Amino acid sequence: MERDYDLKGMDARIRELRKTAEEVRELAQGIEAVTRNADRLLASVKMMELNLCDLAEVAL
């Protein structure tokens, strides 16, 4: 079933999500309303990494 999905495509976009959230967090320069929500967003991104990206990194 793994081959039925574009795992690499999803992996790449999830990495972009992480990068974007981390950049927003950095740009916020300590604005709590941004950094705390970015942290929550990153926790959700992590769940997608656990569900997909970890596997993409395991060689066939």
Residues near other proteins (CB under 8 A) are: 1-2, 4-5, 7, 39-40, 42-44, 46-47, 50-52, 54-55, 57-60
Quote the least distance from Cβ 32 to other proteins, whole Å: 13
Quote the least distance from Cβ 16 to other proteins, whole Å: 19
Residues of the chain by 3-state class (helix, strand, coil), percent to 5? 80, 0, 20
Quote the least distance from Cβ 19 to other proteins, whole Å: 17
Residue 25: count other Cβ atoms within 10 Å of its Cβ. Answer: 19
Nearest to 41 by CA among 18, 57, 23: 18
